[in-house]
Structure 1
Amino acid sequence: MKRFAVVLGASGEIGEHIARQLAEANWSLYLHWNSEPLDTLVKELEIQYPGQEFIPLRADFSKNGSGEELAKLIFDASCVIVASGHALYKMLIDTSEADLEDLWQVHLKNPVSAIRHISSYFHRHPKTYVVFISSIWGEIGASMETAYSAVKGAQLAFVKAYAKEMSASGTRVNAISPGFIATKMNRSWSEEELRAIEEEIPLGLGTPKDVADAVDFLVNGKADYLTGQVLRVNGGWHM
Protein backbone atom coordinates (compact mmCIF):
# COMPACT_ATOMS: atom_id res chain seq x y z
CA MET A 1 0.00 0.00 0.00
CA LYS A 2 1.39 3.40 -0.98
CA ARG A 3 1.84 5.97 1.75
CA PHE A 4 1.39 9.61 0.84
CA ALA A 5 3.03 12.69 2.30
CA VAL A 6 2.10 16.28 1.51
CA VAL A 7 5.04 18.68 1.21
CA LEU A 8 3.88 22.28 1.41
CA GLY A 9 6.50 24.55 -0.14
CA ALA A 10 8.19 21.84 -2.19
CA SER A 11 9.55 24.38 -4.69
CA GLY A 12 11.90 25.95 -2.15
CA GLU A 13 15.38 24.57 -1.57
CA ILE A 14 14.52 23.12 1.82
CA GLY A 15 11.22 21.75 0.53
CA GLU A 16 12.91 20.12 -2.46
CA HIS A 17 15.51 18.40 -0.28
CA ILE A 18 12.75 17.15 2.00
CA ALA A 19 10.81 15.82 -0.99
CA ARG A 20 13.82 13.98 -2.37
CA GLN A 21 14.59 12.39 0.98
CA LEU A 22 10.99 11.34 1.55
CA ALA A 23 10.85 9.81 -1.93
CA GLU A 24 14.00 7.85 -1.15
CA ALA A 25 12.22 6.55 1.97
CA ASN A 26 9.37 5.19 -0.20
CA TRP A 27 6.83 7.97 0.25
CA SER A 28 4.55 9.00 -2.60
CA LEU A 29 4.20 12.77 -2.58
CA TYR A 30 1.82 15.62 -3.11
CA LEU A 31 4.15 18.51 -3.93
CA HIS A 32 2.84 22.03 -3.36
CA TRP A 33 4.24 24.95 -5.33
CA ASN A 34 3.23 28.45 -6.30
CA SER A 35 5.68 30.57 -8.31
CA GLU A 36 8.20 27.92 -9.41
CA PRO A 37 6.79 24.91 -11.30
CA LEU A 38 7.98 21.46 -10.23
CA ASP A 39 8.06 19.74 -13.62
CA THR A 40 11.77 18.90 -13.46
CA LEU A 41 11.61 17.59 -9.90
CA VAL A 42 8.54 15.48 -10.62
CA LYS A 43 10.10 13.93 -13.73
CA GLU A 44 13.31 13.11 -11.87
CA LEU A 45 11.43 11.47 -9.02
CA GLU A 46 9.19 9.49 -11.39
CA ILE A 47 12.28 8.09 -13.14
CA GLN A 48 14.06 7.26 -9.90
CA TYR A 49 11.03 5.80 -8.13
CA PRO A 50 8.65 4.36 -10.75
CA GLY A 51 6.51 2.55 -8.18
CA GLN A 52 5.56 5.76 -6.38
CA GLU A 53 3.36 8.74 -7.27
CA PHE A 54 4.42 12.37 -7.41
CA ILE A 55 1.61 14.87 -7.80
CA PRO A 56 2.29 18.63 -8.13
CA LEU A 57 -0.35 20.99 -6.74
CA ARG A 58 -0.33 24.74 -7.20
CA ALA A 59 -1.69 27.11 -4.54
CA ASP A 60 -0.92 30.70 -3.62
CA PHE A 61 -0.85 30.64 0.16
CA SER A 62 -0.92 34.43 0.35
CA LYS A 63 -4.59 34.19 -0.74
CA ASN A 64 -7.33 33.49 1.76
CA GLY A 65 -8.87 30.04 1.36
CA SER A 66 -6.02 28.54 -0.66
CA GLY A 67 -5.14 25.96 2.00
CA GLU A 68 -8.66 24.57 1.91
CA GLU A 69 -8.69 24.55 -1.90
CA LEU A 70 -5.40 22.65 -2.01
CA ALA A 71 -6.66 20.08 0.50
CA LYS A 72 -9.63 19.30 -1.75
CA LEU A 73 -7.16 17.94 -4.35
CA ILE A 74 -5.67 15.43 -1.89
CA PHE A 75 -7.26 12.01 -1.52
CA ASP A 76 -5.07 10.35 1.10
CA ALA A 77 -2.14 11.28 3.32
CA SER A 78 -0.48 10.17 6.53
CA CYS A 79 2.11 12.94 6.69
CA VAL A 80 2.12 16.71 6.19
CA ILE A 81 5.33 18.74 6.08
CA VAL A 82 4.99 22.52 6.21
CA ALA A 83 8.05 24.01 4.50
CA SER A 84 6.30 26.94 2.82
CA GLY A 85 7.22 30.47 3.78
CA HIS A 86 9.07 33.66 3.01
CA ALA A 87 11.28 36.07 4.92
CA LEU A 88 10.53 39.69 5.76
CA TYR A 89 13.34 42.03 6.84
CA LYS A 90 11.67 45.21 8.12
CA MET A 91 11.28 47.19 11.26
CA LEU A 92 7.77 46.78 12.61
CA ILE A 93 7.01 50.46 12.02
CA ASP A 94 7.78 49.92 8.30
CA THR A 95 5.75 46.72 8.05
CA SER A 96 2.51 47.22 6.14
CA GLU A 97 -0.87 45.65 6.78
CA ALA A 98 -0.38 43.70 3.55
CA ASP A 99 2.95 42.38 4.84
CA LEU A 100 1.29 41.22 8.06
CA GLU A 101 -1.54 39.55 6.19
CA ASP A 102 0.84 37.73 3.84
CA LEU A 103 2.92 36.40 6.73
CA TRP A 104 -0.19 35.21 8.57
CA GLN A 105 -1.71 33.54 5.52
CA VAL A 106 1.48 31.88 4.25
CA HIS A 107 3.04 30.71 7.50
CA LEU A 108 0.03 29.78 9.58
CA LYS A 109 -3.56 30.19 8.38
CA ASN A 110 -3.38 28.30 5.08
CA PRO A 111 -1.07 25.53 6.31
CA VAL A 112 -3.30 24.98 9.36
CA SER A 113 -6.39 25.04 7.15
CA ALA A 114 -4.84 22.43 4.87
CA ILE A 115 -3.91 20.23 7.84
CA ARG A 116 -7.43 20.59 9.25
CA HIS A 117 -8.90 19.08 6.08
CA ILE A 118 -6.15 16.54 5.32
CA SER A 119 -6.31 15.15 8.86
CA SER A 120 -9.67 13.58 8.00
CA TYR A 121 -7.59 10.83 6.33
CA PHE A 122 -5.37 10.20 9.34
CA HIS A 123 -7.74 7.63 10.86
CA ARG A 124 -6.86 5.28 7.98
CA HIS A 125 -3.30 4.95 9.27
CA PRO A 126 -1.91 3.70 12.61
CA LYS A 127 0.79 6.40 12.69
CA THR A 128 0.62 9.83 11.11
CA TYR A 129 2.89 12.85 11.18
CA VAL A 130 2.80 16.64 10.99
CA VAL A 131 6.06 18.61 10.88
CA PHE A 132 6.43 22.38 10.68
CA ILE A 133 9.70 23.88 9.45
CA SER A 134 9.73 26.88 11.76
CA SER A 135 12.75 29.05 12.64
CA ILE A 136 15.17 29.87 15.41
CA TRP A 137 13.52 33.31 15.40
CA GLY A 138 10.25 31.72 16.46
CA GLU A 139 12.03 30.73 19.66
CA ILE A 140 14.19 33.75 20.46
CA GLY A 141 12.96 36.56 18.16
CA ALA A 142 14.97 38.74 15.81
CA SER A 143 15.29 42.50 15.49
CA MET A 144 14.17 43.69 12.04
CA GLU A 145 12.13 40.48 11.74
CA THR A 146 9.55 41.08 14.44
CA ALA A 147 6.50 40.14 12.38
CA TYR A 148 8.28 37.11 10.89
CA SER A 149 9.36 35.99 14.36
CA ALA A 150 5.77 36.29 15.55
CA VAL A 151 4.31 33.94 12.94
CA LYS A 152 7.14 31.47 13.43
CA GLY A 153 6.44 31.51 17.16
CA ALA A 154 2.76 30.93 16.40
CA GLN A 155 3.73 27.81 14.44
CA LEU A 156 5.48 26.44 17.53
CA ALA A 157 2.45 27.16 19.70
CA PHE A 158 0.24 25.34 17.19
CA VAL A 159 2.55 22.33 17.20
CA LYS A 160 2.42 21.98 20.99
CA ALA A 161 -1.37 22.35 21.16
CA TYR A 162 -2.10 20.09 18.18
CA ALA A 163 0.26 17.41 19.51
CA LYS A 164 -1.85 17.21 22.67
CA GLU A 165 -5.07 17.13 20.68
CA MET A 166 -3.94 14.39 18.28
CA SER A 167 -1.85 12.07 20.44
CA ALA A 168 -4.74 9.68 21.08
CA SER A 169 -5.18 9.37 17.30
CA GLY A 170 -1.57 8.29 16.79
CA THR A 171 -0.50 11.56 15.17
CA ARG A 172 2.95 12.87 16.03
CA VAL A 173 3.19 16.65 15.68
CA ASN A 174 6.62 18.27 15.86
CA ALA A 175 8.57 21.25 14.61
CA ILE A 176 12.06 21.76 13.29
CA SER A 177 13.68 25.06 14.21
CA PRO A 178 16.51 25.75 11.74
CA GLY A 179 19.19 28.33 12.39
CA PHE A 180 21.00 29.95 9.48
CA ILE A 181 20.53 27.66 6.47
CA ALA A 182 22.48 28.52 3.33
CA THR A 183 19.73 28.95 0.72
CA LYS A 184 19.01 31.45 -2.04
CA MET A 185 16.68 33.26 0.37
CA ASN A 186 19.84 34.34 2.23
CA ARG A 187 21.92 35.29 -0.80
CA SER A 188 21.15 38.96 -0.35
CA TRP A 189 23.61 38.96 2.55
CA SER A 190 27.12 40.18 1.73
CA GLU A 191 30.13 37.90 2.13
CA GLU A 192 31.25 39.97 5.09
CA GLU A 193 27.85 39.61 6.77
CA LEU A 194 27.81 35.87 6.14
CA ARG A 195 31.28 35.47 7.64
CA ALA A 196 30.22 37.40 10.73
CA ILE A 197 27.16 35.17 11.19
CA GLU A 198 29.16 32.01 10.58
CA GLU A 199 31.63 32.99 13.28
CA GLU A 200 28.75 33.11 15.78
CA ILE A 201 27.65 29.54 15.04
CA PRO A 202 29.75 26.73 16.59
CA LEU A 203 29.17 24.34 13.65
CA GLY A 204 28.95 27.01 10.95
CA LEU A 205 26.15 27.52 8.45
CA GLY A 206 23.59 24.79 7.86
CA THR A 207 22.39 23.25 4.60
CA PRO A 208 18.94 22.23 3.34
CA LYS A 209 20.02 18.60 3.72
CA ASP A 210 20.48 19.16 7.45
CA VAL A 211 16.81 20.07 7.70
CA ALA A 212 15.74 17.20 5.43
CA ASP A 213 17.68 14.75 7.61
CA ALA A 214 15.75 15.98 10.64
CA VAL A 215 12.44 15.47 8.81
CA ASP A 216 13.53 11.95 7.88
CA PHE A 217 14.24 11.28 11.56
CA LEU A 218 10.80 12.49 12.64
CA VAL A 219 8.56 10.77 10.08
CA ASN A 220 10.20 7.44 9.28
CA GLY A 221 9.76 5.52 12.52
CA LYS A 222 12.94 6.71 14.22
CA ALA A 223 11.29 9.20 16.56
CA ASP A 224 7.82 7.83 17.25
CA TYR A 225 8.06 8.60 20.97
CA LEU A 226 8.44 12.31 20.19
CA THR A 227 5.50 14.67 19.88
CA GLY A 228 5.02 18.34 20.63
CA GLN A 229 8.76 18.88 20.37
CA VAL A 230 10.91 21.55 18.73
CA LEU A 231 13.97 19.95 17.15
CA ARG A 232 16.72 22.58 16.93
CA VAL A 233 18.83 22.28 13.78
CA ASN A 234 21.04 25.31 14.27
CA GLY A 235 24.64 24.18 14.67
CA GLY A 236 24.69 25.24 18.32
CA TRP A 237 23.64 28.84 17.59
CA HIS A 238 20.89 28.56 20.22
CA MET A 239 21.10 25.91 22.93
Structure 2
Amino acid sequence: MHRQKAMKTLIVGASGAIGRAVSLAFREDELILHANEGHERLRHLIDEENLSAELFPCDLTDRGAVESWVQEMPNVDRIVYVAGHALHGLVVDQAIDELDRLYEIHVRAMIRLIQSVVAKKPYDHQLDIVIVSSIWGEVGAAAEVFYSTVKAAQLGFVKAFAREVGPFNVRINAVTPGWIDTPMNDTVEESKESVMNDIPLGRLGTVEDVAKTIRFLCSPEASYMTGTILRIDGGWQ
Protein backbone atom coordinates (compact mmCIF):
# COMPACT_ATOMS: atom_id res chain seq x y z
CA MET A 1 0.00 0.00 0.00
CA HIS A 2 1.48 3.32 -1.11
CA ARG A 3 1.42 6.22 1.30
CA GLN A 4 -0.15 9.33 -0.22
CA LYS A 5 2.40 12.03 -0.87
CA ALA A 6 2.12 14.97 1.52
CA MET A 7 0.90 18.26 0.14
CA LYS A 8 3.41 21.09 0.10
CA THR A 9 2.10 24.32 1.62
CA LEU A 10 3.81 27.70 1.62
CA ILE A 11 2.77 30.04 4.44
CA VAL A 12 3.98 33.61 3.95
CA GLY A 13 4.08 35.47 7.24
CA ALA A 14 4.13 32.35 9.39
CA SER A 15 5.68 33.94 12.48
CA GLY A 16 2.63 36.00 13.45
CA ALA A 17 -0.32 34.80 15.51
CA ILE A 18 -2.51 33.91 12.53
CA GLY A 19 0.44 32.47 10.62
CA ARG A 20 1.24 30.17 13.53
CA ALA A 21 -2.35 28.95 13.69
CA VAL A 22 -2.37 28.33 9.94
CA SER A 23 0.87 26.35 10.24
CA LEU A 24 -0.76 24.10 12.82
CA ALA A 25 -3.92 23.75 10.72
CA PHE A 26 -1.76 22.36 7.89
CA ARG A 27 0.50 20.32 10.14
CA GLU A 28 0.04 17.16 8.03
CA ASP A 29 1.63 18.92 5.05
CA GLU A 30 5.22 19.58 4.15
CA LEU A 31 5.47 23.22 5.19
CA ILE A 32 7.55 26.04 3.78
CA LEU A 33 7.40 28.78 6.39
CA HIS A 34 8.29 32.35 5.52
CA ALA A 35 9.20 35.11 7.95
CA ASN A 36 11.30 38.23 7.80
CA GLU A 37 11.70 38.35 11.56
CA GLY A 38 10.64 35.82 14.16
CA HIS A 39 12.82 32.97 12.91
CA GLU A 40 13.48 31.72 16.43
CA ARG A 41 9.74 31.56 17.13
CA LEU A 42 9.28 29.46 14.01
CA ARG A 43 12.16 27.13 14.88
CA HIS A 44 10.65 26.65 18.31
CA LEU A 45 7.24 25.95 16.76
CA ILE A 46 8.71 23.37 14.36
CA ASP A 47 10.50 21.57 17.18
CA GLU A 48 7.69 21.83 19.70
CA GLU A 49 5.00 20.60 17.29
CA ASN A 50 7.23 18.19 15.38
CA LEU A 51 6.33 19.78 12.05
CA SER A 52 7.78 18.78 8.72
CA ALA A 53 8.90 22.27 7.75
CA GLU A 54 11.68 24.38 6.35
CA LEU A 55 12.27 28.09 6.82
CA PHE A 56 12.35 30.30 3.75
CA PRO A 57 13.05 33.87 4.94
CA CYS A 58 12.76 37.05 2.91
CA ASP A 59 12.42 40.79 3.48
CA LEU A 60 9.30 41.49 1.43
CA THR A 61 10.11 45.21 1.23
CA ASP A 62 13.37 44.47 -0.62
CA ARG A 63 12.55 43.99 -4.32
CA GLY A 64 15.89 42.36 -5.08
CA ALA A 65 15.49 39.91 -2.22
CA VAL A 66 11.94 39.10 -3.32
CA GLU A 67 13.13 38.42 -6.86
CA SER A 68 15.76 35.93 -5.65
CA TRP A 69 13.25 34.41 -3.22
CA VAL A 70 10.60 33.69 -5.86
CA GLN A 71 13.18 32.26 -8.26
CA GLU A 72 14.26 29.76 -5.60
CA MET A 73 10.69 28.82 -4.66
CA PRO A 74 9.90 25.14 -5.31
CA ASN A 75 6.58 23.97 -6.74
CA VAL A 76 3.91 24.02 -4.05
CA ASP A 77 0.33 22.82 -3.78
CA ARG A 78 -0.94 25.68 -1.63
CA ILE A 79 -0.03 29.26 -0.81
CA VAL A 80 -1.42 31.05 2.22
CA TYR A 81 -0.40 34.72 2.24
CA VAL A 82 -0.67 36.13 5.76
CA ALA A 83 2.20 38.62 5.68
CA GLY A 84 1.60 42.24 6.58
CA HIS A 85 1.07 44.74 9.32
CA ALA A 86 -1.40 47.47 10.21
CA LEU A 87 -0.72 51.20 10.28
CA HIS A 88 -2.66 53.62 12.46
CA GLY A 89 -2.94 57.37 11.98
CA LEU A 90 -4.66 60.08 9.98
CA VAL A 91 -3.81 60.34 6.28
CA VAL A 92 -2.67 63.96 6.64
CA ASP A 93 -0.15 62.87 9.28
CA GLN A 94 1.27 59.89 7.37
CA ALA A 95 4.46 59.93 5.31
CA ILE A 96 3.79 58.63 1.82
CA ASP A 97 6.76 56.29 2.30
CA GLU A 98 4.59 54.38 4.79
CA LEU A 99 2.10 53.68 2.01
CA ASP A 100 4.96 52.48 -0.21
CA ARG A 101 6.11 50.06 2.50
CA LEU A 102 2.60 48.65 2.98
CA TYR A 103 2.18 48.29 -0.77
CA GLU A 104 5.45 46.38 -1.14
CA ILE A 105 4.46 43.80 1.50
CA HIS A 106 0.72 43.45 0.97
CA VAL A 107 0.47 43.84 -2.80
CA ARG A 108 3.65 43.85 -4.87
CA ALA A 109 5.46 40.96 -3.14
CA MET A 110 2.21 38.95 -3.06
CA ILE A 111 1.62 39.39 -6.79
CA ARG A 112 5.27 38.71 -7.70
CA LEU A 113 5.24 35.48 -5.69
CA ILE A 114 1.99 34.24 -7.23
CA GLN A 115 3.09 35.28 -10.71
CA SER A 116 6.28 33.24 -10.38
CA VAL A 117 4.69 30.13 -8.84
CA VAL A 118 1.88 29.99 -11.40
CA ALA A 119 4.27 30.52 -14.32
CA LYS A 120 6.47 27.58 -13.24
CA LYS A 121 3.82 25.05 -12.25
CA PRO A 122 2.85 22.17 -14.58
CA TYR A 123 -0.45 22.81 -16.36
CA ASP A 124 -2.23 19.86 -14.70
CA HIS A 125 -0.93 20.66 -11.20
CA GLN A 126 -3.64 22.02 -8.88
CA LEU A 127 -2.69 25.14 -6.95
CA ASP A 128 -4.83 26.62 -4.17
CA ILE A 129 -4.16 30.15 -2.93
CA VAL A 130 -5.70 31.95 0.04
CA ILE A 131 -4.98 35.61 0.79
CA VAL A 132 -5.55 36.89 4.32
CA SER A 133 -6.92 40.39 3.75
CA SER A 134 -9.00 42.34 6.26
CA ILE A 135 -12.53 43.52 6.91
CA TRP A 136 -11.14 47.03 6.34
CA GLY A 137 -10.38 46.08 2.76
CA GLU A 138 -14.14 45.70 2.29
CA VAL A 139 -15.63 48.51 4.37
CA GLY A 140 -12.69 50.84 5.10
CA ALA A 141 -11.54 52.26 8.42
CA ALA A 142 -10.85 55.82 9.47
CA ALA A 143 -7.34 56.22 10.88
CA GLU A 144 -6.32 53.09 8.93
CA VAL A 145 -6.81 54.42 5.42
CA PHE A 146 -3.46 53.29 4.01
CA TYR A 147 -3.98 49.81 5.46
CA SER A 148 -7.55 49.68 4.12
CA THR A 149 -6.25 50.71 0.69
CA VAL A 150 -3.72 47.90 0.31
CA LYS A 151 -6.14 45.35 1.73
CA ALA A 152 -8.76 46.43 -0.82
CA ALA A 153 -6.11 46.02 -3.53
CA GLN A 154 -5.59 42.43 -2.43
CA LEU A 155 -9.30 41.73 -2.85
CA GLY A 156 -9.38 43.28 -6.30
CA PHE A 157 -6.50 41.05 -7.33
CA VAL A 158 -8.18 37.92 -5.98
CA LYS A 159 -11.44 38.55 -7.84
CA ALA A 160 -9.76 39.40 -11.15
CA PHE A 161 -7.01 36.76 -11.03
CA ALA A 162 -9.53 34.01 -10.25
CA ARG A 163 -11.16 34.67 -13.63
CA GLU A 164 -7.83 34.55 -15.41
CA VAL A 165 -6.36 31.35 -13.96
CA GLY A 166 -9.42 29.19 -13.31
CA PRO A 167 -8.86 27.29 -16.58
CA PHE A 168 -5.27 26.54 -15.51
CA ASN A 169 -6.08 24.56 -12.35
CA VAL A 170 -5.56 27.48 -9.99
CA ARG A 171 -8.05 28.56 -7.34
CA ILE A 172 -7.60 31.77 -5.38
CA ASN A 173 -9.80 33.00 -2.55
CA ALA A 174 -9.51 35.45 0.33
CA VAL A 175 -10.63 35.78 3.91
CA THR A 176 -11.37 39.11 5.58
CA PRO A 177 -11.01 38.77 9.35
CA GLY A 178 -12.71 41.28 11.61
CA TRP A 179 -11.49 41.88 15.15
CA ILE A 180 -9.31 38.86 15.86
CA ASP A 181 -7.77 38.52 19.33
CA THR A 182 -4.09 38.85 18.39
CA PRO A 183 -1.20 40.97 19.69
CA MET A 184 -1.64 43.28 16.66
CA ASN A 185 -5.12 44.13 17.95
CA ASP A 186 -4.19 44.47 21.62
CA THR A 187 -5.71 47.61 23.08
CA VAL A 188 -7.07 48.60 26.45
CA GLU A 189 -9.69 46.23 27.77
CA GLU A 190 -12.39 48.91 27.49
CA SER A 191 -11.93 49.02 23.72
CA LYS A 192 -12.23 45.24 23.48
CA GLU A 193 -15.40 45.33 25.56
CA SER A 194 -16.85 48.05 23.32
CA VAL A 195 -16.11 46.04 20.18
CA MET A 196 -17.57 42.85 21.65
CA ASN A 197 -20.78 44.71 22.43
CA ASP A 198 -21.08 45.46 18.70
CA ILE A 199 -20.43 41.89 17.56
CA PRO A 200 -23.63 39.82 17.28
CA LEU A 201 -21.82 36.63 18.31
CA GLY A 202 -20.60 38.38 21.44
CA ARG A 203 -16.89 37.58 21.28
CA LEU A 204 -13.69 38.45 19.50
CA GLY A 205 -12.51 36.11 16.77
CA THR A 206 -9.69 33.67 17.39
CA VAL A 207 -6.74 32.79 15.21
CA GLU A 208 -8.20 29.28 15.01
CA ASP A 209 -11.40 30.72 13.50
CA VAL A 210 -9.31 32.17 10.70
CA ALA A 211 -7.06 29.12 10.24
CA LYS A 212 -9.99 26.69 10.03
CA THR A 213 -11.65 28.80 7.33
CA ILE A 214 -8.43 28.87 5.34
CA ARG A 215 -8.11 25.10 5.74
CA PHE A 216 -11.64 24.71 4.37
CA LEU A 217 -10.86 26.90 1.34
CA CYS A 218 -7.92 24.63 0.51
CA SER A 219 -9.95 21.43 0.91
CA PRO A 220 -11.84 19.33 -1.66
CA GLU A 221 -15.08 20.55 -0.05
CA ALA A 222 -14.33 24.02 -1.47
CA SER A 223 -13.27 22.77 -4.91
CA TYR A 224 -15.97 24.82 -6.68
CA MET A 225 -15.02 28.09 -4.96
CA THR A 226 -12.69 30.66 -6.50
CA GLY A 227 -12.65 34.43 -6.44
CA THR A 228 -14.59 34.22 -3.18
CA ILE A 229 -14.20 36.61 -0.25
CA LEU A 230 -15.17 35.04 3.08
CA ARG A 231 -15.74 37.44 5.97
CA ILE A 232 -14.79 36.20 9.45
CA ASP A 233 -16.13 38.82 11.82
CA GLY A 234 -18.96 37.33 13.92
CA GLY A 235 -21.46 39.57 12.12
CA TRP A 236 -19.65 42.75 13.24
CA GLN A 237 -19.68 44.59 9.90
User: What TM-score, normalized to structure 2?
Assistant: 0.93
Q: Would the alpha carbon gap of residues 80 and 91 (structure 1) be closer, same or farther in structure 2, given more than 3 Å must change?
A: same
Q: Percent identity?
A: 34
Q: CA deviation at 1:97?
A: 2.0
- Tell me which amino acid in the other structure corresponds to 1:160: K
Closer/same/farther in 2, CA of residues 43 and 147 from structure 1, 3 Å limit: same
Shift, 1:190, TM fit = 0.8
Q: Give yes or no for contact 1:65–1:110 (8 Å, CA) kept in 2.
A: no
Shift of 1:120: 3.0
| Partner Cα distance (2:60, 2:46) in 1 | 21
2:37 equivalent in structure 1: 35
Question: 1:212 and 2:211 equivalent?
Answer: yes
Which residue of 1 is the match for residue 164 of structure 2? 165
Secondary structure in 2 aligned to 1:123? coil
Partner of 1:174: 173
Whether 2:20 is the aligned partner of 1:22: answer no
Any conservation in 1 of the 2:171–2:227 contact (CA below 8 Å)? Answer: yes
In the alignment, is the contact (CA less than 8 A) between 2:123 and 2:169 conserved in 1?
A: no
Equivalent in the alignment of 2:126: 127
Q: C-alpha offsets along residues 155-205 of structure 1, whole Å, 9 cap, x if unaligned?
A: 000001110111001111100010000000111x11111111111111121
How many residue pairs were aligned? Answer: 230
Contact 2:26/2:215 (<8 A) preserved: yes
Amino acid at match of 1:207: T
CA contact (8 A) 2:130 2:174 kept: yes
Give the AA of the match of 1:10. A
* Structure 2 CA distance for aligned equivalents of residues 110 and 219 of structure 1: 21
Q: CA deviation at 1:220?
A: 1.8
Displacement of 1:125: 5.0
Partner of 1:61: 60
Matched, 1:4 2:8: yes
| Alpha-carbon distance, 1:65 to partner | 3.5
Give the equivalent residue in structure 2 for 1:101: 100
**Match of 2:231, SS?**
strand
Q: CA deviation at 1:217?
A: 0.3
Tell me what 1:202 maps to. Answer: 200
User: Which residue in 2 is equivalent to 1:77?
Assistant: 76
Structure 2 segments unaligned to the other structure (5+ residues):
none
Give yes or no for contact 1:30–1:74 (8 Å, CA) kept in 2.
Answer: no
Answer yes or no: is the 8 Å Cα contact 2:73–2:117 preserved in 1.
Answer: yes
The alignment partner of 1:65 has SS state of helix
Of 122-131 and 150-159, more deviation after overlay is shown by: 122-131
Counterpart check, 1:13 vs 2:12: no
Alpha-carbon distance in 1 for matches of 2:213, 2:89? 30
| Letter matched to residue 31 of structure 1 | L
The CA distance in 2 between the partners of 1:169 and 1:100, in whole Å, is: 33
In structure 2, relative to structure 1, the CA distance for the partners of 1:164 and 1:65 (3 Å cut) is farther
| TM superposition shift of 1:124 | 5.9
Task: Tell me, in whole angstroms, the C-alpha distance in 1 between the residues paired with 2:29 and 2:170.
Answer: 17
- The match for 1:192 is 190
Structure 1 portions without partners, runs of 5+ = none
Residue 75 of structure 1: CA displacement?
A: 1.6
Deviation at 1:210, TM superposition (A): 0.4
Change (3 A) 1:124 1:170: closer
CA distance in 2 between counterparts of 1:164 and 1:74 reads: 24
